[in-house]
Structure 1
Amino acid sequence: MGKIRLQKFIANCGVTSRRKAEDLIVNGKVKVNGVIITELGTKINSTKDIVTVNNDIIMENNNFIYIKLYKPEGYITTVKDQFARKTVIDLISINERIYPIGRLDYNTSGLLLLTNDGDFANKLMHPKFHINKTYEAEVKGLIKKETIEKLKTGVTIDGYKTAPAMVKVIGNSHNKSNVQIIIHEGKNRQVRKMFNAVGHNVISLKRTAFGKINLDNLLPGKWEYLSNDEINSFG
């Protein structure tokens, strides 16, 4: 193989996504033939050059893995946790190194995708692809029609206005509302903050779909490999 950009090579090795690979390079965590490389866009010979990340030698991975997991509440969406809390990787019993695509916060359950294909992960996380994420939220209070319209057109959180969303009430009782909301952005704790902005604190939150992939019959804490149709559904 000829020359390849260093961040793409790192992603191909299944270490992380291409965007996070760029962070590793800029922060001096990557060496090529023993020399620290911090310049993005550096090209290497993938068959001859020796690349290390945090001093571990990495090699390209052609055995790509694609998994969907029903994340329960109480798990961290990361590979390792400095406080020894349970992570989503603890739920998956395979030998290959994989990592989550995006995040679900500690108290959010539902569909999480994991892979060792950096290009695939980068595509799914990049804002320009506008991949829909579907959530079901139980919120405090009986939500009004005008509040739904506010959520649909966008609300201001953390100093920015959210993109238009698809929102509908799917049930309510005992001063609580169940709401389906579909967004394509992926800001930190975005759905919770959107409901907080309109005066309805979230009681529980579950992601039910990522693009055309949904939980199907998965139970909390269980996982399965994506089918070819699911993988190809992102185009």
Structure 2
Amino acid sequence: MSNTYERLQKVISQSGVTSRRKAEKLIQEGKVKVNGKTVTELGTKVSSDDTIEVEGIELVKEPKVYYMLYKPRGVISSVSDDKDRKVVMDFFPELEERIYPIGRLDYDTSGILLLTNDGDFANLVMHPKYGVEKVYVAKIKGIPSKMDLARLRKGVKDKGDLLKAINYRILSTDKKKDTMILEITLCEGKNRHVRRMMEQLGFPVIKLKRERYGMLNLDGLRVGEHRKLTPKEVKQLRNLASQNVEE
């Protein structure tokens, strides 16, 4: 797996040395070196293997960290929000490393959300080509037929996207309340994927939770709690993604 490349000014600003705008100015002024060579092009991209110096001081590379959060409903899957709404980073007030969410969970969706500062790892477990499964439990309005549910695997179109599941399972049906609880497995995650897919079928989602990410589940966590992934879990996720590519 090759390194993920990012713009030099972004890497500098994320390190906490200065703002992105100031980083761009420092680059143009010839005050930034990459692997010992002065760089003045703003389009320059670097990887985690590159050594970066700003005004003669080498950027300190943060240790790679990996977290799992039991995201509550009513929280934005972002580092910050211009509308001052609650974001997932509010659950990590003491953390020194600059982590960010791997993908997103909708504002009204709860469940597993992974966060890291490792771009390679994030790409590996998030990109659909690596096939890491995400399992959701959805409470829907209405009771779809077998024919309706079969369309989940075939896929439905919405706003130019083909939205489909790789598997589904009926967990319960309540004819009195006209609702069904479905387990839906995806290996990709387009924006509001499950909700849009079910809306196209005519069965809107009432409540949605992501219960599994690869081999990870929410056991031992309460809503709003988080924990570090173990080295074994990180390795298992990497191996799972690599294995899916090979297959």
CA RMSD between the two structures = 3.2
What is the CA-CA distance between 1:95 and the residue it aligns to?
A: 2.4
When residues 14 and 124 of structure 1 are mapped into structure 2, their CA distance, relative to the original with a 3 A threshold, is farther
Q: Tell me if structure 2 keeps the 8 A contact 1:5–1:41.
A: no
Matches of 1:74 and 1:135, distance apart in 2: 17
Summarize deviations over 1:157-191 as a string: whole Å, max 9, x none: 22232345201110111211000000111110011
Q: How far, CA to CA, are the matches of 1:158 and 1:167 in structure 2?
A: 23
Matches within 5 A, 1:70-219: 70-93=70-93, 94-173=95-174, 174-219=177-222
1:31 is the counterpart of 2:31 = no
Q: Relative to structure 1, is the Cα distance of residues 14 and 233 closer, same or farther in structure 2, using a 3 angstrom cutoff?
A: farther
Contact 1:111–1:207 under 8 Å retained in 2: yes
Is residue 30–residue 37 contact of structure 1 (8 Å, CA) maintained in 2? no
Q: Please, which runs of 5 or more residues in structure 1 have no aligned partner? A: 17-24, 52-56
Give 2:243's aligned residue.
none
Q: Percent identity?
A: 36
How many Å separate the matches in 1 of 2:228 and 2:47? 33
Unaligned runs of 5+ in 2: 29-39, 240-247
Q: Contact between 2:165 and 2:185, CA under 8 Å: does it hold in 1?
A: no
The alignment status of 1:49 with 2:50, answered yes or no, reads: no
- Per-residue deviation at 1:146? 1.1
CA displacement at 1:144 relative to structure 2: 1.6
Q: Distance in 2 between matches of 1:141 and 1:6?
A: 46
Tell me which residue corresponds to 1:7. Answer: 6
2:74 is matched by which residue type in structure 1?
A: G
Distance 1:225 1:48 in 2: 28
Distance across 2 between alignment mates of 1:120 and 1:84: 29
Structure 1 equivalent of residue 68 of structure 2: 68
- For 1:228, which of 220, 226, 231 is the aligned residue? 231
User: CA shift at 1:31, angstroms?
Assistant: 3.4
Structure with the greater alpha carbon radius of gyration: 2
Over 3 Å counting, the alpha-carbon distance change for 1:5 and 1:186 in structure 2 is: closer
Q: TM-score, normalised by structure 2?
A: 0.77
The runs of at least 4 aligned residues of structure 1 exceeding 4 Å deviation read 8-14, 40-45
Query: Could you tell me whether the CA contact under 8 Å between 2:62 and 2:97 is conserved in 1?
Result: no
